[in-house]
Amino acid sequence: MKAEILRELRTSGDFVSGQDLCDRFGVSRTAVWKVIRQLEADGYDIEAVTNKGYKLLSYPDILSSAELMSRINTQWAGRKVYFKPEMESTNEYAKYLAEEGKDHGSLVVTNAQTAGKGRRGRQWISPPGEAVSMSLILRPEFSPDRASMLTLVMALSVADTISQLHPELKVSIKWPNDVLVNEHKVCGILTEMDAEPDYIHDVIVGVGINVNQKEFPEELSDIATSLRIEKGEHIDRAGLIIGTMEYFEYYYGIYAEHLDFSCFVQNYDGYLVNRGREVRVLDPKGEYTGTAEGVNDRGELIVNLPDGSARTVSSGEVSVRGIYGYV
C-alpha cells in the first residue's frame, strides 16, 4: 500500500484527502496515517493539513521498492522490485532469486554493493547512495546463442534514458556495452546466463551507473565519470532506473520478435563512439588495428583493415580500445 499511496500523492501533485485514501484502499485512517509516517521516516517531505489531507512537497533521491513501484508504468520490466539497502552484488542476488523461480522482469536494486562485479573478473565499485546498481531477471524463450545481444539492447536502453532525461549531455556507447558521457564511462553492463545448450533458464542483466559520485580514485579518473560530475548537479537515480526499464521493455519486445540487431543498428551506430575511428582489437589470436565502421545485425563490430578487407568482432572474444587509450 506504501507504493500506491506514494503514487497517489505523486500523481495528484496537490492535497489528497485522508478519507479518499481510506476509501480507495479500503483501510482505516490510522492505517493511512501509519504509511504517511513511514514515508516521512524514509525521507519524503509530506505536508499534512486538517480537512485538506496530505501533499508530497519534494521528491528526494530515495531508492526503495515503494519509490520505484510508485513510479513505474511498464508491463513487466521492473514491475516487481527486490530492494535491499546493501548487497554484495545485485547480479549474485538476482541469480539466487532466479533459482527461487522469480518472474521474468523481476528487478533487483540496491543502494550499495559491497562486492560489485565487473566484466572479466574485475571489481565494480558502487559507493553507498551514489550509484545505480540493478540486475534484471529475464527468462527468454529464444535459444542461448541469441542472448548475448541483450547486453547491447540494454546499453541502448541506458543511453536513450540518459539522453532523454539529460538532453544536454553528450552520450555515446563504446562497443559493445559501455555507456559514456563526454567520452568517459558512466555505465557498465554485466550479463550472465544460466542455460543448457538449447534452453535458457535465466539471463541476468546487471547495470551499474555512476550517478552522484563527486570524484573517482586516481586510477579511474581518466576513464570514468558520473552524471553529477558532467551535469554539475545531483541526479535522481530512480528516474534513471524507471526510464531504463521502459526503454528496455520496448526494445526487448522488438528484439524477441526479430531475434537480431537489425532494428537497432541505426540507433546504436548513432551513439557509437568508435565509429569512424581507429581501434585496436585485442584478439587473443593476434592484435590488429583498423577503422570501426559500425555494428551489423548480429551486434558485431565491423572493422575495416588497412588492406581494404573487413573483419567482424564479436563481443565475447575480444576487447576493443582506441589506439591512444580507452576510446
Residues binding ligand BTN (CB under 6 A): 89-91, 113, 116-119, 122, 124, 126, 133-135, 178, 188-190, 206-208
Q: State in angstroms the smallest separation of the CB of 248 from ligand BTN.
A: 14
Q: State in angstroms the smallest separation of the CB of 124 from ligand BTN.
A: 4
- Report the residue number, 124 or 252, with the smaller CB distance to ligand BTN: 124
Q: State in angstroms the smallest separation of the CB of 167 from ligand BTN.
A: 25
Strand, coil or helix: what is 67? helix
Instruction: Answer positive or negative: Cα dihedral of 98, 102, 106, 111.
Output: negative
Instruction: For residue 13, count other CB atoms closer than 10 A to its CB.
Output: 9
Which residues contact residue 154 at a Cβ distance below 8 angstroms, ignoring those fewer than 6 apart? 136, 177, 189, 191, 205, 207, 244, 248
- Report the residue number, 44 or 93, with the smaller CB distance to ligand BTN: 93
- Report the residue number, 6 or 108, with the smaller CB distance to ligand BTN: 108
3-class SS string, 114-156:
CCCECHHHCECCECCCCEEEEEEEECCCCCHHHCCHHHHHHHH
Q: State in angstroms the smallest separation of the CB of 131 from ligand BTN.
A: 7
* CA 257 – CA 153 distance, rounded (Å): 13
Tell me which residue has its CB nearest to ligand BTN. 188
Q: State in angstroms the smallest separation of the CB of 123 from ligand BTN.
A: 9
Closest CA to 56 of 67, 42, 46: 46
- Report the residue number, 5 or 313, with the smaller CB distance to ligand BTN: 313
- Report the residue number, 36 or 229, with the smaller CB distance to ligand BTN: 229
